[in-house]
C-alpha cells in the first residue's frame, strides 16, 4: 500500500528531522536485523546479528561521531566503547520491537504517512518536497522503505512505552517522602588527599625500574608495522567517472520522448481552506462568493494549523500530488472559480485555482543534465556491482596478485602508510578493517584479503607491501616509559593506603586529622562546592561513618555524613509541584525501564564471546 501511495506522490516532500550526530544511532535498528547464522556476533531469541552487520553499524556510528567531532574523537570513544554502545542500542531496539509485536501493537499505514508528512526537514515554503525528502534520506544512506520501517517500529514501541508510563502513579505518602528527601540538608565533614602531593614524595629506585623491565619484557616491545597495497572501489567515484557524450544523451532523450517521459504535467496554483464544521464551511463558502479573500476567510473560520500558517494558499501541485477528493474537483474548475464544499475524513475543504500551466514537452536542453545524471548513476551502479561479482569470483581462489586484479579491471593501486594492528590512518583507522588485514593469510602467506566493505557503496581489497616485526626495546629505550609507569603505580598505592589508614583512624576516634576536616552543610542545590564532591555526599548513607572514595581525578576524599535534616513543612517549599511532576515522570520511566530489563532478562541471548572480546 505504502509503495503505491508513494508512487502517486511525485512531488510531495516527505521529511524527517535529521538528528544531531550526538545521537547518530537513531537511524539504526530498523526492526529488520535478521541475518544468516554464519559468523554471528550475537543472537536474540529468533534473530541473528552477523559480525559483518555489527561491523557496519559500528563503522557508520564511528563515521557519524567523527563528522560531529570534526575528525577528533575524544579518548572516551575507543573501538570497544563504540561497539559496546552499538550493541546495547541494537539489543534495546530488537527487544522492544519484539515486545511490541508480541503485545499485538500495530501502527497504521496512514499513521506512518502522517508522521512522515509532518516532519519539518522535508518541507519547504510550499509544503512537502519529494526532492528534499529523497536527498535527506540519501545523505544518511537510507531508502524510503527502510525509513517507513523505522517509523513503524518507532510507532509501536512508542505505544508500548505509553501503555506503561501513562498508567504510573505516586501515593500521597510517596509524594511526601520524595519531596522531603529532595529538599533535605546534609551536614558533612571531609578532607581531600591530593594525588600530586603524594606523588612529590615518591622516590624511585633504579632496582625498581630494572625489575619492572625484566619482569615485563613482552610489554616493552615496539609494535609490528605493516604497509599495504590496496584497491579502493567506490561506487560514487565510478558514477562520477562515467562519460556521456551529447550524442548518447540525445539518443536517450529521443527514446524516452517516444514513451512520453518528457511531457510536463499541468501545475496548479491552489487556494485551500480546511474547516472542521459543516456549518462554518457553508458560511465560509458564502463569504468567498461575496468577495472575501481566502486569506480573510481562512483566518476567520479554519481551525487547521497548516491552513492558518499558509493563510489559505496551499501551493503549486500536479494533480497526482493531491488526494483524489481534491484532484477530482480541481480538474474541473476554471481559473478563480470557487469549488463546492468537499467532505473528507479530515473535515470540509474549499478550493480555488489561481492559475495553471499548459501541457508542455521538456526540451533536450532542459532535460540534458537530468539525463546525464541518471545515466551516470545507472551505469556506475551497474559497474560497481559487476566489479563486486567479478572480483569476488576471481579473488576467491587467492591465486592472483593485486597487480593482476588491477590490470584486469583497469583499477589504480593505492599505497597505505605504515600501520599497526592497534592504530591506523584514513580508512585503515577502523578496527574491523585492520582485523581483516592483520591475518595469517595476508601477513604470512602474502595472499590478498577478502573484499572488505566500508559501507554499501565502497569496498577495498588489500595485499601486504612491507612488514616490520615487533622488536624488543632496550632498557634505556624504555626507561622513560618505565619511570612514568612505576611512579604512577607507587603513587596510586600510596594514595589508597594513606586514605584507608586515615579513614580507619577517624572511625576509631584516634586520628590526628579531626582538626583538618572541612565542613559542608547544604542541599543538593548548593553551588559552593564541586558538583562531583556534592554528588558523593548525597549518594552515601550516614550509617557508614567515614568512607574513602576516589574523585576520579586520582585524588581521594574521606568524609562522613554526620546528620540529615528534613524539612518540617513541605507546603512551604517553593515549586513543590514542579518536583512532584519530575518525580512522577521519573517513576514512569523507571517502570518502563524495569519492564525492558525484565523482558531482556527473559530473552534467549547468545554472544560470540571470542568475537566480542576483540580490541
Cβ(345)–Cβ(110) below 8 Å: no
Whether 336 and 330 have beta carbons less than 8 Å apart is answered as: no
188 or 101, greater pLDDT: 188
User: Which stretch of DSSP H or E encloses residue 191?
Assistant: strand 185-193
Tell me the pLDDT tens digit for each residue of 248-277: 999 988 888 877 777 777 888 999 998 888
Q: Are 79 and 615 in contact (CB under 8 A)?
A: yes
What is the phi/psi pair of residue 255, to 5°?
A: -65, -45
Cα atoms in the 13 Å half-sphere on the side-chain side of 572: 4
- Output 553 or 406, whichever has higher pLDDT: 406
pLDDT-derived band of residue 10, with 50, 70 and 90 as boundaries?
very low
**Has residue 102 got a pLDDT over 50?**
yes
Which of the four pLDDT bands, split at 50, 70 and 90, describes residue 401?
Answer: very high
Helix, strand, or coil here: 248? Answer: helix
Q: Dump the DSSP string for 6-62.
A: HHH-SS------PPPTTSGGGGS--S-----STTEEEEETTEEEEHHHHHHHHHHHH
What pLDDT is stored for residue 150 in this prediction? Answer: 77
pLDDT digit string, tens, across residues 31-44:
444 444 447 888 88
Percent of the chain with pLDDT over 70: 84
Whether residue 506 has pLDDT greater than 90: yes
Express each pLDDT in 188-212 by its tens digit.
999 999 999 999 999 999 999 999 9
Mean pLDDT of all residues in the chain? 81
1 by Cβ neighbours in 10 Å (0-12 / 13-18 / 19+) ranks as exposed
Whether the per-residue pLDDT at 460 is higher than 90: the answer is: yes
3-state DSSP call for residue 319?
A: helix
* CB-based contact 459:477 (threshold 8 Å): no
Residue 475 pLDDT exceeds 90: yes
> 397 falls in which pLDDT band (50, 70, 90)?
confident
Q: In this predicted model, which residue has the larger pLDDT, 173 or 55?
A: 55
Per-residue pLDDT averaged across 74-100, rounded? 80
Residue 275 or residue 18, greater confidence: 275
Distance CA 448, CA 397 (A): 10
Task: Give the predicted TM-score (pTM) of the model.
Answer: 0.47
Bridge partners of residue 208, in order along the sequence:
none
**pLDDT at position 7 over 60:** no
Name the band, by pLDDT with cuts 50, 70 and 90, for residue 48.
confident
* Residue-level pLDDT at 602: 82
For 536-588, write each residue's pLDDT tens digit.
Answer: 998 888 878 999 999 888 899 999 999 998 888 776 666 656 655 655 565 56
| The predicted structure's pLDDT at residue 383 | 92
Structure-block grid coordinates of residue 385: 556491482
Span 319-353, pLDDT tens digits? 877 888 888 888 889 999 999 999 988 889 999 99
Q: Does the pLDDT value for residue 129 go beyond 80? A: no
Amino acid at each position: 500500500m505504502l509503495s503505491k501511495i508513494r508512487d502517486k506522490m511525485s512531488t510531495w516532500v516527505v521529511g524527517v528531522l535529521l538528528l544531531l550526530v550526538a545521537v547518530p544511532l537513531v537511524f539504526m535498528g530498523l526492526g529488520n536485523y535478521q541475518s544468516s547464522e554464519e559468523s554471528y556476533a550475537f543472537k536474540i531469541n529468533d534473530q541473528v546479528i552477523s559480525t559483518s552487520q555489527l561491523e557496519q553499524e559500528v563503522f557508520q556510528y564511528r563515521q557519524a561521531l567523527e563528522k560531529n567531532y570534526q575528525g577528533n574523537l575524544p579518548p572516551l570513544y575507543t573501538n570497544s566503547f563504540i561497539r559496546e554502545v552499538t550493541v546495547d542500542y541494537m539489543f534495546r531496539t530488537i527487544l522492544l520491537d519484539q515486545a511490541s509485536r508480541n503485545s499485538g501493537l500495530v501502527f497504521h499505514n496512514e499513521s506512518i504517512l502522517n508522521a512522515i508528512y509532518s516532519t519539518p526537514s522535508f518541507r519547504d515554503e510550499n509544503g512537502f518536497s519529494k526532492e528534499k525528502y529523497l536527498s535527506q534520506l540519501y545523505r544518511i544512506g537510507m531508502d524510503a522503505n527502510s525509513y517507513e520501517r523505522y517509523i513503524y517500529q518507532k510507532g509501536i514501541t512508542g505505544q508500548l512505552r505509553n501503555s506503561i508510563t501513562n498508567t504510573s502513579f505516586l501515593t500521597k505518602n510517596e509524594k511526601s517522602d520524595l519531596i522531603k528527601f529532595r529538599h533535605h540538608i546534609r551536614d558533612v565533614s571531609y578532607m581531600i588527599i591530593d594525588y600530586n602531593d603524594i606523588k612529590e614524595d615518591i622516590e624511585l629506585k633504579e632496582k625498581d625500574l630494572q625489575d619492572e623491565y625484566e619482569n615485563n619484557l613482552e610489554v616493552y616491545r615496539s609494535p609490528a608495522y605493516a604497509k599495504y597495497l590496496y584497491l579502493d572501489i567506490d561506487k560514487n567515484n565510478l558514477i562520477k567517472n562515467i562519460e556521456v557524450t551529447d550524442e548518447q544523451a540525445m539518443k536517450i532523450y529521443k527514446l524516452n520522448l517516444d514513451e512520453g517521459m518528457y511531457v510536463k504535467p499541468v501545475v496548479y496554483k491552489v487556494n485551500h481552506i480546511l474547516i472542521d464544521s459543516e456549518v462554518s464551511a457553508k458560511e465560509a463558502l458564502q463569504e468567498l462568493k461575496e468577495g472575501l479573500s481566502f486569506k480573510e476567510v481562512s483566518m476567520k473560520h479554519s481551525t487547521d494549523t497548516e491552513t492558518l500558517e499558509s493563510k489559505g494558499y496551499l501551493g503549486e501541485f500536479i494533480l497526482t500530488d493531491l488526494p483524489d477528493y481534491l484532484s477530482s474537483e480541481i480538474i474541473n474548475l476554471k481559473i478563480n472559480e470557487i469549488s463546492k464544499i468537499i467532505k473528507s475524513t479530515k473535515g470540509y475543504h474549499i478550493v480555488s485555482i489561481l492559475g495553471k500551466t499548459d501541457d508542455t514537452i521538456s526540451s533536450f536542453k532542459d532535460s540534458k543534465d537530468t539525463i546525464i545524471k541518471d545515466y551516470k548513476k545507472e551505469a556506475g551502479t551497474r559497474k560497481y556491482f559487476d566489479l563486486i561479482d567479478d572480483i569476488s569470483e576471481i579473488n576467491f581462489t587467492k591465486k592472483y596478485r593485486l597487480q593482476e586484479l588491477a590490470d584486469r579491471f583497469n583499477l589504480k593501486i593505492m599505497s597505505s602508510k605504515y600501520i599497526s594492528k592497534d592504530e591506523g590512518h584514513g580508512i585503515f583507522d577502523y578496527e574491523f578493517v585492520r582485523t581483516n588485514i592483520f591475518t595469517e593469510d595476508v601477513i604470512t602467506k602474502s595472499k590478498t584479503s577478502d573484499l572488505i566493505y566500508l559501507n554499501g557503496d565502497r569496498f577495498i581489497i588489500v595485499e601486504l607491501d612491507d612488514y616490520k616485526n615487533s622488536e624488543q626495546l632496550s632498557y634505556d629505550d624504555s626507561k622513560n616509559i618505565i619511570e612514568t609507569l612505576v611512579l604512577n603505580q607507587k603513587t596510586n598505592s600510596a594514595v589508597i593506603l594513606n586514605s584507608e589508614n586515615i579513614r580507619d583512624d577517624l572511625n576509631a576516634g584516634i586520628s590526628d586529622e579531626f582538626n583538618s576536616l572541612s565542613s559542608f552543610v547544604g542541599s543538593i542545590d548548593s553551588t559552593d562546592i564541586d558538583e562531583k564532591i556534592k554528588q558523593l555526599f548525597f549518594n552515601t548513607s550516614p550509617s557508614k561513618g567515614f568512607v574513602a572514595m576516589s574523585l576520579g581525578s586520582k585524588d581521594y576524599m574521606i568524609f562522613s555524613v554526620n546528620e540529615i535534616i528534613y524539612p518540617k513543612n513541605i507546603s512551604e517549599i517553593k515549586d513543590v509541584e514542579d518536583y512532584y511532576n519530575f518525580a512522577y515522570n521519573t517513576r514512569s520511566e523507571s517502570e518502563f525501564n524495569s519492564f525492558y530489563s525484565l523482558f531482556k532478562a527473559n530473552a534467549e541471548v547468545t554472544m560470540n564471546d571470542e568475537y566480542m572480546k576483540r580490541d
